[in-house]
Structure 1
Amino acid sequence: MRRRRLAPLLAVAVIAGLTPTLAAGTAGAAPVPADESGDLGAYARQHPNWQRCGADTPASFECATVRVPLDYRNPTGRAIDVAISRIKAANPAERHGVLLLNPGGPGGPGLGLPWEMDATLPQPVKDRYDRIGFDPRGIGRSTPVRCGLTHEEGTLFRPYRTFDSNVAWARTVADKCRARAGDLLPYITTRNTARDMDVIRTVLGERRISYLGVSYGTALGAVYTQLFPSRADRFVLDSAVDPDRMWREMFRLWGSEGEANFRRWAQWTAERSDTYHLGDTPARVTATFRDLVARADREPIVVGTTPLDGVRIRENYRPMFATVAEAAKWVAILKQAAAGEPTPELPGTSVDEPDISGTWSVLCGDTRWPSDPWRYRVESALDTIRYPLYGDHASGITPCAFWNAPREPLTVVDNRVPTLIVQNEWDSQTPLVAARSMHRALEGSRMITVDGGEGHGVYTYSGNRCADEATTAYLVTGRLPARDVTCQAGPDDRRVASVSPAQPR
């Protein structure tokens, strides 16, 4: 669930030529991270050696590296790198502190975010905060997890009809990760990344941090508030996961909520049959799409130059149905392609191997998944019937079935830290029901819901003025809205489909 892939979650450029280094020094009067594992004072005494991130990036965009314990229960043991970046507050006289940024995932690199978001963050926010990016442990320029997966192995979910081969794939991925990165895997978790955030806070000399996290980043932010409640300042959780469903049940929501999105889309498209020619009733629109999937399963439909079978169509369109106009446009193109007409390429994004390795590390390391393949077989078979768009993918077996047991329990989120949750009503990756659950878990939170809002990601992305202004006001003043806020989606909102099948994201 990550903002770097908006759609599904904010494109972050790959920054070339980063040369972050680290020197010894003093981090000021910030409190040392409190943790049951023991003394972390040596990490607090780091002084990051900030350097320009790259020759092709602005001089104001600086990078460095901090060291953190691999295992916080043994802080005198092995240390690993976390790559960090910053753009300083534009108005030092108004500076409030630091704003850590996370794009989602899990597995999303965030080092480029201060630069990438510089054009979209409101000026009052940039005036008051040093924007801090970082690649979470196991990802990108931080000490990475590399499982050595092939392109074929580098997928997240597979359809029920290939279940037997799916079991072999899941076992192979788990075995490869254990063989190539087994020393890192037990420690690549949301809980440890939150602890890394507190080391970053200490090294930067801050008593508290503010935070903007999207999608999976909302889980990371919530865990931080649970572990370090007195050090959380102004926290914005955009497009929130359900802390009670991490992680398999969060993905299974894509089956049930995908059907709700599809039904809404079918109704909307039927009302515009003269435009899209997909059917003049919801039943006929539904039949058109189902027939296209069935045909593609018999013989792939070539869209542009890309052949798509029924499985790939369901993978690509499941998130897109949350944005009704985009979905109608592309299903109409799919219909044209099936008729042999020339068409543009289907939009989509790929996921590179390091991202998938890091993704599995977090998903499998955070919580114990069922280990019996038979359970996956039964549940994905049932969900094929109940949720035909995507249920079999969402419920199928994954490498987590063969992962070693987590070292720590999943963090239970239950606190009163003031937090702002921002959510679209029609979100393909983190459905509204998930955000409401996060709102209940964070008893001190307020929630902004964009009624009729579509797609994944709200603040500075969807273009909803009401939600943007309320969020900016909180970041600038630190005052939460007096009560929950409902904004209305407007005609000028940017509604961009989430098309990658890979993310919660």
Structure 2
Amino acid sequence: MIRAAKPAAALAALALTILTASAAPAAGVTAPPPAAAAAADPLAALRGQQPRWHPCTTGPEDTAGAELDAAGAGCTELAVPLDYRRPDGRTIGIALARLPATDQARRLGTLFYNPGGPGVPARDLALALRRAAPGLAARYDIVGMDPRFVGASTPLDCGWPTAGPGSAGPDRLTFDRSAEVAKNLAARCAPYRELLPHISTRNTARDMDLVRAVLGEKTIAYLGSSYGSYLGEVYLQLFPERVGRAVFDAAMDPDRFGPDLTATQGPAMAAALTAWAAWAARHDDRHHLGSTTAEVLAAVERVRLAAGRAPLAVGTHRVDARALPQVLWTVAAGDDDAAHEEFSALVRVLADAAEGRPAEPTALLEAVLSGLTAPDTGGYAAVQTAIMCADRAASRDPLAYYRDIQAHRADEPLFGPLTRNLTPCTFWPAEPAEPPTLVRNAVPVLLVGADGDPAATYPGQLSAHRALTGSRLVTLRGAFRHTVYAGLFAPRDACVDTAVDRYLLDGVLPVQDTDCPAARP
């Protein structure tokens, strides 16, 4: 993410806006009239809202909004309870965009789309789905809803000077430094402690169902990628009768989702790195990192050891042992030739720096290194953390994380200190309002994903498959990419796309779990 500092005055104004949000309806919302049915249904009045659709553009610099308007979208804001246990209390605003089906005569209904995150706005990305999957866009109204406190939905910004604590580094001293960063970031969210327990996926799922009701839809279709799959899993559990057809792309483990989910990612990241190393060995004539997979991995290990001795000089940047795993995390960007080419050039620069030669960053490396030291513009990292802290409690013992890192130094030397490190949730100023959602149901749903996914690991996908006993799983075999449908964030695969489109458009689930072999250049 690109981040920039938020002035203190703007942060104070934001705090005032959030804390007084219940004093008046959100912009674009028609205040619901009193309803006699409220006693029987405490949400009846909110479900009776009449959305005021308006252009999506917010100003001359809003190119995403202008593109939505050009595509015929309408935007609106709806009021939802901050705390669903107190539906007549404070409300917040939820922003959404709706793209009407392009073939209204054959319209199937409304499809909600969440591209992932958490902390990523979904409203503007509805148009990306329409462009990537015109067949779906013809038959469904596509709704992109910014989750609560994200994007245009009553945004929360804690004013973080950086996105997170990063890697724990090679020793106790560097671990303690990362813990201090995490503690400082958590403290910056303390002014919003009354809001923090309610920034959960569970409440976003409730918001989604309230929006469904306001739009007058008895049921919805749903497509969720990455974190969007977990949001879908929770929605499916809370509102099983409201789901028509649902697809979860790169399904998250519903029993693990929370601040410590990354602890499962180290082996998958190492496997993705090994797959890249095999590619780099076949192209040693360009990057000179080694002519075998083992030689390429040895070059990466030399970089790791050098960064542990002293920071690597890369242009104006210094890459130390705490930053290096975050830089090498970009191997998860994709498994196609273009992505591997970019990553190989990045590693070549790091290898030069490790060997004491002049090293200037590639465009990708410059973007990564600049991002690591940049402030959290818009509060995306803070709200991402807040969602995970509200979904599942983290250990309050910092040393528990250090002991876990030490126990895995030998088998996860590169990524373990990053994936197993503590987060601001260890020092969070609020506890979750509810226990984690236990996902166990037999609602029909289609799961698709890659068996080498470095973020939504395949064991996690299988866990989701077991929890959702009515599901079918389509696995893209031999692929090391995160998400697999429609080429939205990774190379397109015809086998996966056919399975998804056949279900969402025709209602036909595969009769059994299916494998799709990943295409190779």
CA distance in 2 between counterparts of 1:175 and 1:335 reads 38
Correspondent of 1:40 among 43, 66, 69: 43
SS of equivalent to 1:473: helix
Match of 1:496 in 2: none
CA distance in 1 between counterparts of 2:320 and 2:247 reads 40
The offset of 1:236, in angstroms, is: 1.0
CA distance in 1 between counterparts of 2:349 and 2:179 reads 34
CA distance in 2 between counterparts of 1:133 and 1:292 reads 42
Match of 1:53 in 2: 56
1:400-419 to 2 correspondences below 5 Å: 400-403=425-428, 404-419=430-445
CA distance in 2 between counterparts of 1:102 and 1:388 reads 34
Match of 2:415 in 1: 390
How high is the TM-score relative to the length of structure 2?
0.83
- Give the conservation status (yes or no) of the 8 Å contact 1:145–1:184: no
CA distance in 1 between counterparts of 2:439 and 2:194 reads 28
The offset of 1:445, in angstroms, is: 0.8
Match of 2:129 in 1: 117
Match of 1:332 in 2: 348
Does residue 26 of structure 2 align to residue 23 of structure 1? no
CA distance in 2 between counterparts of 1:222 and 1:425 reads 20
Distance 1:85 1:402, change over 3 A: same
Does residue 391 of structure 2 align to residue 366 of structure 1? yes
- Give the conservation status (yes or no) of the 8 Å contact 2:167–2:325: no
Distance 1:174 1:25, change over 3 A: closer
- Give the conservation status (yes or no) of the 8 Å contact 1:384–1:390: no
Cα offsets for 1:297-353 (capped at 9, x unmatched): 445445566543343332121340663834434323433555326563234454535
Match of 1:442 in 2: 468
Tell me which moved more, 272-281 or 374-383.
272-281
Pairwise CA RMSD: 2.6
How high is the TM-score relative to the length of structure 1?
0.85
Match of 2:288 in 1: 277
Match of 1:503 in 2: none
Tell me which moved more, 360-369 or 200-209.
360-369
The offset of 1:168, in angstroms, is: 2.3
- Give the conservation status (yes or no) of the 8 Å contact 2:280–2:287: yes
The offset of 1:409, in angstroms, is: 0.6
Match of 1:172 in 2: 184
Correspondent of 1:158 among 164, 167, 172: 167
CA distance in 2 between counterparts of 1:372 and 1:311 reads 21
Correspondent of 1:79 among 74, 80, 91: 91
The offset of 1:483, in angstroms, is: 1.4
Match of 2:364 in 1: 346
The residue identity in structure 1 corresponding to 2:167 is R
Tell me which moved more, 369-378 or 286-295.
286-295
CA distance in 2 between counterparts of 1:416 and 1:218 reads 16
Distance 1:352 1:115, change over 3 A: same
Tell me which moved more, 307-316 or 480-489.
307-316
CA distance in 2 between counterparts of 1:249 and 1:49 reads 40
- Give the conservation status (yes or no) of the 8 Å contact 1:187–1:365: yes
1:279-318 to 2 correspondences below 5 Å: 279-303=290-314, 306-318=317-329
The offset of 1:175, in angstroms, is: 2.2
The residue identity in structure 2 corresponding to 1:230 is E
SS of equivalent to 2:322: helix
Does residue 282 of structure 2 align to residue 263 of structure 1? no
CA distance in 1 between counterparts of 2:80 and 2:103 reads 31
- Give the conservation status (yes or no) of the 8 Å contact 1:304–1:345: no
Match of 1:16 in 2: none
The offset of 1:107, in angstroms, is: 0.8
The residue identity in structure 1 corresponding to 2:495 is C
- Give the conservation status (yes or no) of the 8 Å contact 1:46–1:66: yes
Tell me which moved more, 446-455 or 167-176.
167-176
- Give the conservation status (yes or no) of the 8 Å contact 1:103–1:113: yes
The offset of 1:111, in angstroms, is: 1.2
Match of 1:483 in 2: 512
Match of 1:243 in 2: 254
The offset of 1:435, in angstroms, is: 1.1
The offset of 1:291, in angstroms, is: 1.1
Tell me which moved more, 441-450 or 156-165.
156-165
Distance 1:176 1:25, change over 3 A: closer
**Structure 1 portions without partners, runs of 5+:** 6-18, 27-31, 493-505
SS of equivalent to 2:252: coil
Distance 1:312 1:323, change over 3 A: farther
1:181-196 to 2 correspondences below 5 Å: 181-196=192-207
The offset of 1:361, in angstroms, is: 1.1
Distance 1:24 1:343, change over 3 A: closer
- Give the conservation status (yes or no) of the 8 Å contact 2:32–2:46: no
Match of 2:23 in 1: none
SS of equivalent to 1:233: strand
The offset of 1:25, in angstroms, is: 6.6
- Give the conservation status (yes or no) of the 8 Å contact 1:156–1:356: no
Match of 1:467 in 2: 496
Tell me which moved more, 190-199 or 352-361.
352-361
Match of 1:29 in 2: none
The offset of 1:156, in angstroms, is: 5.2
Match of 1:11 in 2: none
CA distance in 2 between counterparts of 1:377 and 1:209 reads 44
Identity %: 37
Tell me which moved more, 329-338 or 396-405.
329-338
The residue identity in structure 2 corresponding to 1:331 is V
Tell me which moved more, 124-133 or 450-459.
450-459
**Structure 2 portions without partners, runs of 5+:** 3-25, 60-65
Cα offsets for 1:85-127 (capped at 9, x unmatched): 1110111111111111112111111110122333212x22111
1:60-139 to 2 correspondences below 5 Å: 60-121=72-133, 123-139=134-150
CA distance in 1 between counterparts of 2:255 and 2:159 reads 32
CA distance in 1 between counterparts of 2:40 and 2:315 reads 56
The offset of 1:223, in angstroms, is: 0.3
The offset of 1:250, in angstroms, is: 2.0
The residue identity in structure 2 corresponding to 1:425 is D
SS of equivalent to 1:454: coil
Does residue 218 of structure 2 align to residue 228 of structure 1? no
CA distance in 2 between counterparts of 1:175 and 1:249 reads 19
CA distance in 2 between counterparts of 1:75 and 1:387 reads 47
SS of equivalent to 1:423: strand
Match of 2:14 in 1: none
Match of 1:501 in 2: none
Q: How many residues align?
A: 465
Report which of the two has the higher share of helix. Answer: 2
Match of 2:219 in 1: 208
The offset of 1:37, in angstroms, is: 11
Distance 1:333 1:469, change over 3 A: farther
